[in-house]
Amino acid sequence: TLPPRVRIVEVGPRDGLQNEPVIVPTEVKLGLIARLVAAGLTSIEVGSFVSARWVPQIADTAALMARLPPNPAGRYAVLVPNLKGFEAARAAGAGEVAVFASASEAFSRANINCSIAESLERFAPVMAAARVAGIPVRGYVSCVLGCPYEGAVAPEAVARVAHRLAEIGCHEISLGDTIGSGTPETARACVAAVAATIPRERIALHFHDTQGLALANLRACLDLGVSVVDAAVAGLGGCPYATGAPGNVATEAVVAELGRLGIATGVDSGRLAEAGRFITAALGRPAG
Ligand code: HMG
Ligand code: MG
C-alpha cells in the first residue's frame, strides 16, 4: 500500500548547485532557500563541508549558514565527509549532517578518494561527535542502481553498505541512483534488498533523472513502505565526480505525482514553482 504522506528532502541548494558550472552567489542561494521554506519544505540540504578545491561551488557554506532564514518546522542539513567537515558543520549550527558512502569501490575512490571500508572508518568519529552534540546524521549510499565506472551494482552490495550506515547510527539511509541508470525493476529490487536489512521507515530514495525514469522508479518503490523522497527544485543537480549525472528528480514533478496518487507532502506547488522560476532565472536557464 502507498504511504499516506511523504516527506520530501529538498537537495537543490546542495546537490543541484554543486554541479552548476557557475558559482552561484550566496545571496542567490539565500533567495532560493527562503522561497523553498515559504513553499513548505522543511528538510533542506543547503551545502557541504568538503574540500573547496574539489567542489568550489559550495565553498560559501559557512557564510551561507550564518544567514539562513528561520526554518522553525524543519532543519537545515549539510554533507560532511569526515570529522573536519563535521566540526565545521557543528560550528556553523547545522541541524543535521549527512555522511556519504558508495556501493561501488571505483565511485568511492573518485568521489571521496578512499575505499568504501576507509570511508566507513572515517565516519566512526563523526558519528561519535554527532552523538555527543545531539546532531542527527543521515547516511547516503551512492551508485545504488549503477556506477559510472563499474556498471551494474548488485542489490546485496547496496544492502551491505546501507546496513553498516544504519548500524553506526545513521537515522536515515538515502539510496542514491547517482547517474539515473535505474529502471522500475532494478529500483524495486534494490529497495527490497535494503528493506530486508533495515527498517523501511529509515529508507529514503534519491534518484537522478538521467533517462527520465526517476518518477517511474519512485512510483515502483513507494508501495514497499518508503516515505522519504529526495528531490531538487527545477530538477537542478548532479555530481561533479559522476559524469553524466544530470539533475535530481524535480521537486515540482514529485509533488505533482504524489498529489495525483493522493499522497500528502505539505508543499504548496504554486510557491514551489516560484522558487523554481527564481533559480532558473538566476542561472539564465529556461524554467523546466
Ligand atoms: P583528500 O584529498 O583525500 O583528503 O580529500 P585529505 O585529507 O588528504 O585532504 C586534502 C585537503 O582537503 C587538505 O587541504 C584538507 O585540509 C582538506 P590542504 O592541506 O591540501 O590545503 N580537507 C577538507 N577541507 C574542507 N572540508 C573538509 C576537508 N577534509 C579535508 N571536510 C575529501 C578527501 C573527502 C575531503 C575530498 O575528496 C572531497 O572534498 N571530496 C568532495 C566530495 C563531494 O563533495 N562530492 C559531491 C557530493 S556526493 C554526491 O553528490 C552524491 C549524493 O548526492 C548521493 C547520490 O546522488 O548518489 C550525496
Ligand atoms: Mg545526488
- Our answer on whether the CB atom of 248 is closer than 6 Å to any ligand 1 atom is no
Ligand 1 pocket member 119 (CB < 6 A) = no
Q: Give distance in angstroms: CA of 76 to centre of ligand 1.
A: 20
Indicate if ipTM > 0.90: yes
- CA gap 30, 33 in Å, rounded: 5
pLDDT, one tens digit per residue, over 8-21 is 999 999 999 998 88
CA angle 167–169–170, rounded 5-degree value: 105
CA 80–ligand 1 middle distance (angstroms): 8
Q: Are 102 and 141 in contact (CB under 8 A)?
A: yes
Give the rounded distance of the alpha carbon of 99 from its chain centre: 11
Angle at 217 between CA 215 and CA 223, to 5 degrees: 105
Digit-coded pLDDT (tens) for 139-156? 999 999 999 999 999 999
Query: Quick check: is 190 catalytic?
Result: no
Give the HSE-up count for residue 28: Cα atoms under 13 Å, Cβ half-sphere.
Answer: 19
Mean pLDDT to the nearest integer, 114-125: 98
pLDDT in tens, 199-230: 999 999 999 998 899 999 999 999 999 999 99
113 lines ligand 1 (CB under 6 A): yes
Question: Considering only CA atoms, which residue is closest to atom 1 of ligand 1?
Answer: 113
Tell me what pLDDT residue 245 has. Answer: 53
Average pLDDT, the chain: 95
The residues, any chain, with a CB within 8 Å of residue 232's CB and separated by 6 or more, are: 10, 11, 12, 15, 16, 247, 248, 249, 250, 251
Best residue among 51, 58, 209 to mutate for probing ligand 1's pocket (most ligand atoms within 8 Å of CB) is: 51
Give distance in angstroms: CA of 139 to centre of ligand 2: 12
Strands (E) in the chain, as ranges, are: 7-10, 43-48, 75-79, 96-102, 137-142, 172-177, 203-207, 228-231
At residue 22, the pLDDT reads 85
Lowest mean pLDDT among 7-16, 74-83, 181-190, 244-253: 244-253
Tell me what the mean pLDDT of segment 274-283 comes to. Answer: 94
Q: Which pLDDT band holds residue 231 (cuts at 50, 70, 90)?
A: very high
| Three-state secondary structure of 22-49 | CCCCHHHHHHHHHHHHHCCCCEEEEEEC
Q: What is the reported pTM? A: 0.96
> 264 pairs with which residues across the strands?
5
- For residue 48, the ligand 1 atom closest to its alpha carbon is 44
